[in-house]
Structure formats: C-alpha cells, structure tokens
C-alpha cells in the first residue's frame, strides 16, 4: 500500500498550540460554520485547539498584512516534472512499487506555499523548532494515510491532507470552547448538515471515516463556490457568507491575501501553507530527522461489518482483543454497544481485517446484546426507567417500537443492557460525554454552577461531559448527561 511509509519519526504529545485572538472579530464564526449571505448575529470564531501542556511564548506573532495575490499551481496538472514517476491526481498514493508515501504526498501538492511571506515564514520557524507540534506520532500513522487516500480519490490538492493537523493535531477527541469536535472540528449544526449523527450512542464527528467524508464534501462545496482553495479554507474556518462579503468588498479579482479576514483565519491558512512547505521539503527546514524513518508499515485500520448492533465487550471477546482497543479505534462510540440504527461496522487493525470480519459475523444473534424484561408499574415513566437502567428514552422506544413515550402499567419493556458492568466500559470510553450516570433536564433559572453543585460535581466536569463551552447558554428542557463522579 503506497500509504504505508509515512512519518514514523514524528514524536511528541499534546495539542497544537494556537493562540485565540485577543479581540475576536465581531463577525467571525465557529470552525466549519456555514453562514448564509443574509445571516445576521453570527457566532464568534472558535480558536484552534490549545496545547495546555506547552507554552506559547515562542509561538509566531500575528501575520502582517500583505496584499499579495496567491496563485494556485496548475490545478489540472499531475505530479511535478521532477517527480520520479508520472501520476495524475487520482493515483498519487496508489503505486507502492515506485513511490513512497511521503513522495506521493509531495507530488500531490498543487498550491503556492507562499514561503516568502513573513507570516508563513514565522509559522515554518515555529514548527521547525519543535516538529512534534505537528501531531503525535501514533495519530499520524493511524489517520493521515487514510485522509490522504480520500483526498487523492477526489483529485483534491494534497495540502488538504494536512488540514486536520492544523485543526486538531489529528486528535479525534479534540474539543474547542465553541463546541467543535473531532479531527475536522465540526460544530453540531455543520455536522448534522453533512449527515453526521450526534446522539446518546455516538458522536460521528469523532468518526474518522465519516467525518473525513463530510469535511471533504464541505471543502469541495466551498471550492465550487469560490473557485480557489485558499478561499475555500477561509470559508471552512470563518464561514462562507463572510468570505463572500469580504470578496465583494475587495473586488472581483481578489484572492485570499487581498481580503480582510480575522487574525485567526489568517493564521489558519498561513499554518496550513507552512505545514505543506515543511512536508514538501523537510531537509530545507531542518526537520528531515523527524521524517526520516519512512520504510516501516504504519499502523492502519480497516472497516469491517458487524451484521447489526453488537455489545462492544462481546465484540472484543470475538476479536480476541481488549475492550480498550475497540474504543481506541472507534472514538465515535459513546456507550457499551454500537448504534442500533447503524452504521453496523467497527474499525479494526488492517492486519486483522479478514479474521475480524469472520469473527464478528459468527457472534450468535442471541449473544450480540443482553436483554432484561421490565414490568411497568403504576406512575412509572419511560425516562425514569431509562435512568434506572442507565439507558436513554430513545433507546427504549427503539427497542420496543414505541410510537411515543407513553407507557401503561402492566406492560413489559425489553431493555438492552451491557454484557459487563457499565463501569468497565466507562473506564475506556472517551470523552466524559460518553459516560453517564443519568440525565438532568434543565429548568428555568438553572446555571451550570447550580446544577453541578446540586449533583456534587465539579463545574468543569459537567461542562466537559456535555461539551459545553464557557460562552454557551443553557436552554430550558436541555438534557445534560451526568458523568460518574
């Protein structure tokens, strides 16, 4: 597999350090927020994830204004003339006998990296001093080859492969204060717009396969709108409506460097160009040692069908692996089983793809889930039953095909329960939003502080469990997951 040779030398941990703007632009929007031209009262922009474990004293300063038009290099061209083999955009990563992964990535680059711009040069210098700022080695090996294959399949510039490094350092659990989640940092509204589920069972923004498809769909839509990849990137970060208005103000021939954008968006694009320049020529920027070990096969995943909803502990037993391994490779999963409505599949090690598919298919139907029968007593509600079983109302409705939440005393309900004690699943499941001891429904006058104190929790723990940012507003009737203490 031509992707099998990427970046084994990059090491380090922590999250990409990016300063949030001190004075946020009044019209800036969350990362990935689609903003129609006629939208008013738009939300503020999310800052890129901040590495709490590292300092920001050596981070590059804000980019200076330089009204220089950036031109893309032959969007219809294939590999550069100096490339060792001739490749078109769709096959840049698919010939292991003649080209390695990093070479394939380099040959797929098509944008002007603008390394002579001071703002891009500062980003290059910042990363060159600490190559581990790119992403953790294990994440690069696990996720970047997959992202690059999907980018190549669509004939997009190879630079787009590096965007999730800018967004999240390839961390599926990255979470911004504005509520953006996953390696592509989708906010809920944009995620749902592109078909990603966010519910009790899963948060598909953390699903690398589904979120990558959604992000590339969005980027293609933005490129079709603006006809320029840098403007598409600006739209992904700042909102397409704002970019359109900025272009109207700047004139018909304006490019990204001709329009006025917030500092965060300027740094966002500069950083992607800087990363692209570094990957294009590691030796030039003194980081060849970090990208030198390119021979071994990286850890990679494969997608296998489960044949229906399955308890993750049962799946782990069938696959002969730890439950932790299931959660690690499937970060979108919040609970003890896959989603009842699908997709019915799991990510496993590529090396075990054939045996894993067979093992999962052979799990007997009666063993896929554990069920209990519950007798409804007078005055009992579906939400109370769900809370008692650490389940959800929607799960009980789906399992029992209930048209509404109304139940009658004397009825029996089938309740899907976990194969092992829930605490064992909670030990491995991330983030805290995936571990719930119950649900709290917000009432008039409630604040996060009051709710946390009443439940005996720390305010930050409750906010993290529900992915609530410091500026988010609670809504009456909103359901909050109560994390285990």
Place of tokens 């990849």: 229
Residue 167 annotated to the active site: yes
Q: In 3-state terms, what secondary structure has residue 17?
A: coil
Could you tell me which residues come within 8 angstroms of residue 482 by beta carbon, excluding any fewer than 6 positions away? 436, 437, 438, 439, 440, 455, 457, 462, 465
Q: In 3-state terms, what secondary structure has residue 187?
A: coil
How far is the C-alpha of 462 from the C-alpha of 460, rounded, in Å? 5
Q: Are 291 and 10 in contact (CB under 8 A)?
A: yes
Which long-range contacts does 332-335 make (Cβ < 8 Å, 24+ apart)? 332/172, 332/202, 332/203, 332/204, 332/205, 332/206, 332/207, 332/210, 333/201, 333/202, 333/429, 333/434, 334/200, 334/201, 334/202, 334/203, 334/429, 334/433, 334/434, 335/200, 335/201, 335/425, 335/429, 335/434
- Least Cα distance to 307 among 343, 335, 332 occurs for 343
Place of tokens 């954008």: 261
Please, is 52 exposed, middle or buried when counting C-beta atoms within 10 Å of its C-beta (0-12, 13-18, 19+)?
Answer: exposed
DSSP bridge partners of 416: 371
Identify the active-site residue in 149, 167, 240, 264: 167
Q: In 3-state terms, what secondary structure has residue 447?
A: coil
The span from the first CA to the last CA of the chain, in angstroms, equals: 45
Q: In 3-state terms, what secondary structure has residue 348?
A: strand
Q: Are 197 and 339 in contact (CB under 8 A)?
A: yes
How many helices (H) and strands (E) are present in the chain, helices listed first?
A: 18, 6
Pairing outcome for strands 345-349 and 370-375: unpaired
Residues marked active site are found at: 167
């Amino acid at each position: 597999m031509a992707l099998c040779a990427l970046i084994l030398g990059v090491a380090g941990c922590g999250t990409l350090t990016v300063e949030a703007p001190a004075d946020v632009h009044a019209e800036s929007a969350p990362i990935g927020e689609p903003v129609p031209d006629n939208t008013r009262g738009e939300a503020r922009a999310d800052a890129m994830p901040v590495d709490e474990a590292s300092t920001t004293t050596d981070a590059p300063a804000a980019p200076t204004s330089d009204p220089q038009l950036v031109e893309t290099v032959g969007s219809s061209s294939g590999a550069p003339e100096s490339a060792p083999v001739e490749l078109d955009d769709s096959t840049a990563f698919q010939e292991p006998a003649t080209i390695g992964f990093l070479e394939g990535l380099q040959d797929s680059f098509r944008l002007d990296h603008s390394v002579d711009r001071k703002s891009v040069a500062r980003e290059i210098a910042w990363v060159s001093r600490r190559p581990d700022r790119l992403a953790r080695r294990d994440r690069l090996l696990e996720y970047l080859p997959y992202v690059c294959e999907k980018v190549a399949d669509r004939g997009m510039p190879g630079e787009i492969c590096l965007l999730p490094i800018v967004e999240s350092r390839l961390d599926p659990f990255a979470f911004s204060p504005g509520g953006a989640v996953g390696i592509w940092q989708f906010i809920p509204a944009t995620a749902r717009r592109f078909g990603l589920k966010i519910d009790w069972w899963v948060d598909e923004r953390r699903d690398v396969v589904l979120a990558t498809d959604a992000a590339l769909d969005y980027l293609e839509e933005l490129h079709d709108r603006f006809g320029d990849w840098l403007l598409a990137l600006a739209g992904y970060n700042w909102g397409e409506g704002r970019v359109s208005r900025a272009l109207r103000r700047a004139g018909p021939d304006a490019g990204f460097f001709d329009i006025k954008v917030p500092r965060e968006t300027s740094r966002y694009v500069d950083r992607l160009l800087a990363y692209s320049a570094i990957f294009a020529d590691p030796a030039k920027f003194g980081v060849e040692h970090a990208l030198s070990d390119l021979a071994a096969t990286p850890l990679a995943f494969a997608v296998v069908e489960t044949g229906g909803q399955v308890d993750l502990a049962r799946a782990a037993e069938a696959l002969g692996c730890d439950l932790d391994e299931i959660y690690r490779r499937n970060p979108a999963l919040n609970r003890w089983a896959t989603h009842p409505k699908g997709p019915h599949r799991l990510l496993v090690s590529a090396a075990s793809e054939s045996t894993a598919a067979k093992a999962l298919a052979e799990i007997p139907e009666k063993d896929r889930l554990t069920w209990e029968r519950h007798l409804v007593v007078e005055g009992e509600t579906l939400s109370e039953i769900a809370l008692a079983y650490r389940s959800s109302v929607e799960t009980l409705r789906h399992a029992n095909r209930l048209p509404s939440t109304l139940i009658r005393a004397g009825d029996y309900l089938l309740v899907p329960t976990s194969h092992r004690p829930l605490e064992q699943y909670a030990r491995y499941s991330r983030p805290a939003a995936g571990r719930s001891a119950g649900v709290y429904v917000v009432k008039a006058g409630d604040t996060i502080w009051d709710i946390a104190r009443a439940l005996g929790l720390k305010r930050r723990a409750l906010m993290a469990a529900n992915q609530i940012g410091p500026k988010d507003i609670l809504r009456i009737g909103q359901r909050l997951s109560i994390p285990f203490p």
